[in-house]
Structure 1
Amino acid sequence: MSAVEKPMQDESRHDESWFAARASRGVQGLRAYDPGHDLVAFRRKFGEGLVELGSNENPYGPSPAARMAMLDQLHSLHRYPDPLGLDLKRALAAKHGVDVAQILLGNGSHELLMQLGQVFAGEGDEVVFSRYGFAVFALATQCAGARARVVDALPRTHATMPLGHDLDAIAAAITAATKLVYVANPNNPTGTWFGREALVAFLARIPADVIVVFDEAYAEMADAPDYASALPLLARHSNLVVTRTFSKAYGLAGLRVGYLLGAPGLVAVMERVRESFNVNGPALAACEAVLDDAVHLKWSLERNAAERAWLGEALQQRRLRAFPSQTNFLLVEFGPDTSLVEAALIAQGVILRPMGGYGLADCLRITVGTRDENQRLLDALDRVLA
């Protein structure tokens, strides 16, 4: 049979492994980001009875001004959004005291963290981050084809910051092959943080040719006297990058908007891989609006802090270890029966986040909800523990 007459190959035989073998080396060993449970299915099953405490969402929602801004955008949905997002960038520049050229917008900070790996790391390079650090750090490293140097976190027995980043060990792990360092402050999923003195000392040890990324997705929620953001140090360290999000404190998780602050040169290079119109029009308007409503933000943050303390104490009374947190969630140790506890809570319509993927299989992460949600969690938990 000639080549012309040769039957067409059955493409149905091309399964995932076939395509994976043709992917780039970094993607071949990559596992997709795990979003947790199928919440849509649970919403259909439990309806209003569902208690969603697994995704670190802000239960109080965004400023009413955000809703009004989005409604004003509905008449122009047939138009592309501002490709540069300049109005939002100007508002952010004014808020943080930086130049517009130092800001890059993203489809959530997740996209920006991935792009940092894509742009600044590759095969033969190393990326350093802490064990129990945000899952996207490992994903970004693997996708870029770089090698991960995972530094052990502080032990559970640490007096003040169990499971926290060991900044001295992270700095010591940097080699000539290191291109990126990822740090989360506060950190997801542990809730841990560090202050200005530790931050300054850490940055002083980072070589000038290594880019260090501070993921500060939960920064607005941190109210501990010893917490410090890296933002004030941007002017002193051109290799410093800070990422923030509108998903947490501002209550706009459904719009997926994050932003990066760094040196203008770094932002200019990152712009080369930014997808066109990566932030939609209603989202741009809503984010700009929430920045003007400091009253709603303060109200929301105060309630989160109060409920975090109340829920933490209630869990401790039940002889459950809730680790220190400066976020809107608590990492809680349930012991060897963690999976059974989680399954029993799911059966009652209470959804928490399992931590096996982080190497913390004996823990669950609990989003701090409203008082009603937190009480319903505790009532269900009491039935399980009994």
Structure 2
Amino acid sequence: MGNIQTRRVIEGIRSYPLGDSPEEIKEKYNLKVVRKMSDNENIYGCSSQVKEAIINNMHNLYLYPDGTTAKLINQLSSYYQLNKDQFLIGNGSEEIIRLLTRAYINDGDEAIMAATTFPRYETNVVIEGGLSIAVPLQNGVHDLLAMYKKITKKTKMIFICNPNNPTGTIVGKEELLRFIQMIPSNILIILDEAYYEYVSSSNYLESISLLNTYSNLVILRTFSKIYGLASLRVGYGMMHSEIVRELQKVKEVFNVNQLAQLAAECALDDKSFIIDCKKKNERERVYVCEQLRELGLGYFPSETNFIYVYTDQLVSEKLITNGLIVRQMKLTGYADAFRITLGTREDNDFFLAVLKRLCNEKVV
């Protein structure tokens, strides 16, 4: 556009790949039914208490939301037994990632992360003029020793997505604790635990208790996943109060809308809904993994509501023409790899039937 130049640091950034909508895919491939199993949404929706509360508060839409998110913070403080000044609420936990890089990354600073993980870590670091140091996964899991060896005088933060997106894997609790203990206090350790509520493994580190010992630790969680509030965008960070104060300087004034705050408050209260969703998801996860093994397909052990599948056949492109939307993500050494969000038994059986047919056809 004329001679208007963008900042050099964003020239190599690609927009987040959202893909075609189900309606566009129906039209494109002349399909009657399309199942979207690509965005890790909670197929069981959200708590009925949330819906009721939103309907009852529609008359207040002309008011600005509470910019301090005080009520939700009070609730989270009681829920986790942490001080109120240790919380920051964001427009999804992704906003807090952005605020962390905005507040702490200078030109030339380095941020260490896995090579295959949530891509917005790298994007936000680069936007602020920082350098992303990507470390390959080891069998689908963060290689913490290799990440530690990448620390230099320029290292400002380290991202650990646990469970990891897109592989669904977790880091062992003893290994992660040793890693946290080894990191210098002037480097931020950001644990992204967006899928925390889905974890069933006893080998998962319960990180909350570490916050009062390690002042450089930041824990991110969200209401977008198991709580089923993805469209309302509410996430939160737990950290030292000094970090919260710095992030408040760079956040938007009214960053979380009124209905989103209310929905999160209600969702947090409905513990039975979360327990039910976790049980259903775990049952489907075990079932789908058993079926994948029978088909001879590889996958990483997941502690989330999705599974990362890898294969020597080009399958994922054919899935979409059969009415299944998955997230295509390449894996070194394999012809194809994709992330599939777990659905209902009906959704999962539909996916497995299509996958079995394609494998039998030896799609290449």
Query: With structure 2 as the length reference, what TM-score do the two structures score?
Result: 0.94
Conserved 8 A contact 1:304-1:328: yes
Q: 1 CA distance for matches of 2:301 and 2:225?
A: 18
* Structure 2 partner of 1:89: 73
CA spacing shift, 1:361–1:229, aligned 2, 3 Å: farther
Q: 1 CA distance for matches of 2:335 and 2:263?
A: 38
Q: 2 CA distance for matches of 1:116 and 1:25?
A: 21
* Structure 1 partner of 2:130: 146
Q: Which structure 1 segments of 5+ residues have no match?
A: 1-12, 155-161
Q: In the TM superposition, what is the alpha-carbon distance from 1:47 to its structure 2 partner?
A: 8.3
Conserved 8 A contact 2:308-2:338: yes
Tell me whether 1:280 sits opposite 2:257 in the alignment.
Answer: yes
Q: 2 CA distance for matches of 1:372 and 1:218?
A: 23
* Structure 1 partner of 2:175: 198
Q: In the TM superposition, what is the alpha-carbon distance from 1:108 to its structure 2 partner?
A: 0.8
CA spacing shift, 1:25–1:115, aligned 2, 3 Å: farther
Q: 2 CA distance for matches of 1:102 and 1:129?
A: 24
Instruction: Give the aligned residue type for 1:220.
Output: E
SS at match of 1:128: strand
Q: 1 CA distance for matches of 2:236 and 2:27?
A: 33
Greater Cα shift, 100-109 or 31-40: 31-40
SS at match of 1:62: coil
Q: In the TM superposition, what is the alpha-carbon distance from 1:136 to its structure 2 partner?
A: 1.1
Conserved 8 A contact 2:159-2:191: yes
Instruction: Give the aligned residue type for 2:306.
Output: F
Instruction: Give the aligned residue type for 1:164.
Output: V
In the TM superposition, 1:67-106 aligns within 5 A as: 67-106=51-90
Q: In the TM superposition, what is the alpha-carbon distance from 1:356 to its structure 2 partner?
A: 3.3
* Structure 2 partner of 1:355: 329
Q: In the TM superposition, what is the alpha-carbon distance from 1:273 to its structure 2 partner?
A: 1.1
Tell me whether 1:125 sits opposite 2:109 in the alignment.
Answer: yes
Q: In the TM superposition, what is the alpha-carbon distance from 1:149 to its structure 2 partner?
A: 1.3
CA spacing shift, 1:358–1:215, aligned 2, 3 Å: farther
Q: 1 CA distance for matches of 2:214 and 2:34?
A: 46
Conserved 8 A contact 1:135-1:358: no
Q: Give the fraction of aligned pairs with identical amino acids, expressed as a percent.
A: 36
Conserved 8 A contact 1:217-1:243: yes
SS at match of 2:18: coil
SS at match of 2:95: helix
Conserved 8 A contact 1:217-1:244: yes
Q: 2 CA distance for matches of 1:331 and 1:197?
A: 24
Conserved 8 A contact 1:124-1:177: yes
Of residues 167, 175, 200, the one that matches 1:223 is: 200
* Structure 2 partner of 1:370: 344
* Structure 1 partner of 2:276: 299
Conserved 8 A contact 1:51-1:376: no
Q: In the TM superposition, what is the alpha-carbon distance from 1:103 to its structure 2 partner?
A: 0.8
Tell me whether 1:251 sits opposite 2:234 in the alignment.
Answer: no
CA spacing shift, 1:78–1:256, aligned 2, 3 Å: same
Of residues 321, 325, 344, the one that matches 2:318 is: 344
Q: 2 CA distance for matches of 1:176 and 1:365?
A: 36
Q: In the TM superposition, what is the alpha-carbon distance from 1:379 to its structure 2 partner?
A: 1.6
Instruction: Give the aligned residue type for 2:97.
Output: L
Of residues 24, 45, 67, the one that matches 1:61 is: 45
Conserved 8 A contact 1:199-1:230: no
Q: 2 CA distance for matches of 1:43 and 1:245?
A: 31
Conserved 8 A contact 1:323-1:330: yes
* Structure 2 partner of 1:31: 14
Query: With structure 1 as the length reference, what TM-score do the two structures score?
Result: 0.89
CA spacing shift, 1:358–1:370, aligned 2, 3 Å: farther
* Structure 2 partner of 1:9: none
Of residues 89, 99, 107, the one that matches 2:91 is: 107
Q: 1 CA distance for matches of 2:182 and 2:246?
A: 25
Conserved 8 A contact 1:69-1:289: yes
Conserved 8 A contact 2:220-2:237: yes
Instruction: Give the aligned residue type for 1:84.
Output: T
Q: 2 CA distance for matches of 1:175 and 1:121?
A: 15
**C-alpha distance after superposition, 1:164-202 (max 9, x if no partner):** 001111112111111111111100001110232112100
Tell me whether 1:314 sits opposite 2:291 in the alignment.
Answer: yes
Q: In the TM superposition, what is the alpha-carbon distance from 1:44 to its structure 2 partner?
A: 6.9
Q: 2 CA distance for matches of 1:384 and 1:89?
A: 49
Q: Which structure 2 segments of 5+ residues have no match?
A: none
